[in-house]
Amino acid sequence: MIFIPDVNPKLWFFLPFLSTFDGILNEGVKNRHCKRLITSQPNSGLTNQVKDAANLLEFHADNIYINPKEVKIPVLDYFGNWIVVSENLLSLPEEIATALISQEMALTTRSTVLILFMAAIRWAGLGYLLVTSFGNNEICEVFGFDNSPYPYVPMYLAYAYIWPVFSQSLNRVQCLVHSWKVLQADTVVHKAITTLGTNALKMVAGKAEMFPIFDTWYSQLMRGYPTVARRLKNLNAHD
């Protein structure tokens, strides 16, 4: 059995870090087929537009990759300081694809600190909860039963029923901050790309939501994106 009574509770503090290493490994496996955009399509008009936008946004164009194994809808994903672009996205009109990639470049540079900060809070919070709940019989009393002879029982209860409440609260805060950063990224991209690119960005913002329920407070609080009307208003204010 992995849980034994005489385990030093401080050891549980390092448990959250295991999920971090697992996430890094999964990202590496997921993106192992990626190729650099500027080397796979060096002479395309899209590559030249993206390179120009990257220079204006102070983003390294070498860090934009294509995932040829991606068969889903056009998607962008970023990990650390590099962006993964689906090949399906490259089939879109060049101006729209450039607007999407440019918006993601601007958003990436503004979200890195937030991601690291929230991850640090989660590590510290979960580690502290595991350590303090180990052998804490007050947690057992909260759930309506007597003290447990096994110190890992209250720790499990705290992890299974108390931690999700705090975790979801952190998610909502992160979504609201991310929503604000999307507007910031739109503003930066608006200044960095051409008029056609700006119109494409507005088109992307106007068609970003496929389902009406997502274009409400739900979008900002649960998904981290402002409403379409808010994004268009922000873009029009900088025309």
pLDDT in tens, the chain (239 residues): 344 444 455 555 555 555 555 554 444 445 556 777 777 777 888 888 888 878 777 778 888 887 766 555 445 555 556 777 777 777 777 777 777 787 777 777 666 677 778 888 888 888 888 888 888 888 888 877 777 777 888 888 888 888 888 888 888 888 888 888 878 877 877 776 667 667 777 766 665 555 555 667 777 777 777 777 787 787 788 76
* C-alpha to C-alpha distance for 195 and 44, rounded to whole angstroms: 20
Structural domain count of the chain:
1
Task: Kindly state whether residue 2 falls inside one of the protein's structural domains.
Answer: no
**5 found inside a domain:** no
In sequence order, the 6+-apart residues with CB closer than 8 A to the CB of 46 are: 90, 94, 97, 98
pLDDT confidence of residue 237 = 80
Q: Is 124 within the bounds of a domain?
A: yes
pLDDT for residue 212: 55
pLDDT at 175: 84
CA distance 55 to 46: 14
The token pair at 114 is 């937030």
- Asked, for residue 196, whether it belongs to a domain, the answer is yes
What is residue 81's predicted lDDT score, i.e. its pLDDT?
66
181 part of a folded domain: yes
pTM confidence score: 0.62
Question: 180: domain range?
Answer: 11-236
Q: What pLDDT does 51 receive?
A: 82
Burial of residue 213 (number of CB atoms within 10 Å: 0-12, 13-18, 19+): exposed
**Angle at CA of residue 114, ends 26 and 96, nearest 5°:** 75
The whole-angstrom separation of Cα 229 and Cα 239 is 16
Residue type, 110: R
**Residue 1 resides in a domain:** no
